[in-house]
Amino acid sequence: MRKILIVTPVFWPEAFRVNDLALAWIERGYEVEVLAGHPNYPEGSYFEGYAWHGPWREQWGKIRILRFPQFPRGQGQAWRLALQYASFVVFGSFRVLIRRAWDWDRIFVFQTTPVTAALPALLATRLSGAKSVIWVQDLWPDSLQAVGMRFPDLIQRGIRAMSSAIYCSFTKVVGQSQAFLPRLQELGVEKGRLHCVYQWADEGAPPPPGSITPAWAPGFTVLFAGNLGRAQGLASVLEAADLSREIPGLQWVLMGDGSLRPWLLEEVKRRGLQDRLILPGRRPPEEMPFHFAAADVLLISLGDDSVLARTVPSKLSSYLAAGRPVLGAVAGEPARVIQASGAGMAVPPEDPRALASAVIAMRGLSPEALKAMACRGQAYYAEHFTKAACMAQLEALLLGEDA
């Protein structure tokens, strides 16, 4: 039986695709351990039951979780994030060392921010002699620029060299977008070790009818679901809602939590948009199929940044699978996917007038035209983004003989 160690900055009870992957590998008969810090995303504080003193070990079904404390992210301030990143490396490496039975056959890294979260995995690789795969969700050092973190040139060059060294240390490097691969080559990763596997959508069954209360009143609803952070370009969404406030029945819903939610709540109140822009908070993942189905258009928004233009957010695959029209205030790869799928419309990021005009145009379409967009999106998802296909690719890359 193959024994896999997954190293990840986020894991259950936080809701990320890596949870599905761990469960699937257990079902396939592999033995799985997960190295993860105490959960605190997206609220920025420890979940109930977690503290600096523990727990250091958990069991989620047949999955053993090697826990350790990390500094909570708070509201995403730069100094708090720096402390979180450093504490993950220090305490994560310590947790690997005290494990002692370094008997893993494969090491797999689910790499969100930061790339330094891969350092405990490289230690585990050295101690076990296992082959290793990293699945890159946030491409470093580029993703630092995307969230507005700027450094002097000397420090920036150091971060780039560190990122390059980390990526080049893995047996295989997997990007979550085709657009990642040329950049990873620029960072020194050999072309033959590069692969692409997209993120799949949550394919859980929708909740029973009537079991969930709708989060908004009847009308033409544009729903954004996910992290309300700096990288999402939400100031332009707020401005688009303001520009379209006179359109009868039009309402914008930003469902989720994140560092910008308090600011958004204040701005909505200041502008008098309470009936036009709704912030219902974060909802459990199992509820999201209901909310997607209740919306008229699903919105994906990102900042105007070349790094974000290379990324295909997981919510895009979820939107395509949901069978609703998609509107993207995005550029690059996510815009290409929306246009190639025929699932909806894409406008330039952080352009509130273009976004407001697109929403008004989609509101004016017939139900049949909107349904046709939704069906094309589902067909594109079935071809490119199904969970079964993506997981099979990752399994082959991790466990194949050439891994």
Rg (CA), the chain: 21
**pLDDT for res 41:** 86
Please name every residue paired with 68 in a beta bridge, in sequence order, or none if there are none: 37
Least Cα distance to 75 among 44, 48, 45, 47 occurs for 44
**pLDDT for res 199:** 83
Burial 372-402 (b: 16+ CB within 10 A, else e): ebbebbbebbeebbbbeebbeebeebbbeee
Residue with tokens 């908004």: 216
**What is the pTM (predicted TM-score) of this model?**
0.71
Cβ(403)–Cβ(106) under 8 Å? yes
Residues in Cβ contact with 345 at an 8 Å cutoff, skipping those fewer than 6 apart: 326, 327, 328, 338, 358, 361, 362
Separation CA 402–CA 106 (nearest Å): 12
**pLDDT for res 111:** 95
DSSP state letters, 92-118: HHHHHHHH-----SEEEEEE-S-GGGG
Q: Structural domains in the chain? A: 3-200+386-399 (3.40.50.2000), 220-384 (3.40.50.2000)
Mean pLDDT by 10 residues, the chain (403 residues): 92 90 93 94 86 92 95 82 90 93 94 93 96 93 67 82 95 91 94 90 61 80 92 93 93 92 94 92 84 93 86 86 94 92 95 96 95 94 85 88 61
**pLDDT for res 22:** 95
Strand 194-196 to 172-175 pairing: parallel
Give 367's Cβ-side CA count (13 Å radius).
1
Strand 31-37 to 3-7 pairing: parallel
**pLDDT for res 403:** 60
Give 263's Cβ-side CA count (13 Å radius).
10
Please name every residue paired with 278 in a beta bridge, in sequence order, or none if there are none: 253
**Region for 265 from its dihedrals, namely left if φ exceeds 0, alpha if ψ lies in -120 to 50, beta otherwise:** alpha
Separation CA 204–CA 194 (nearest Å): 30
**pLDDT for res 9:** 93
**pLDDT for res 205:** 57
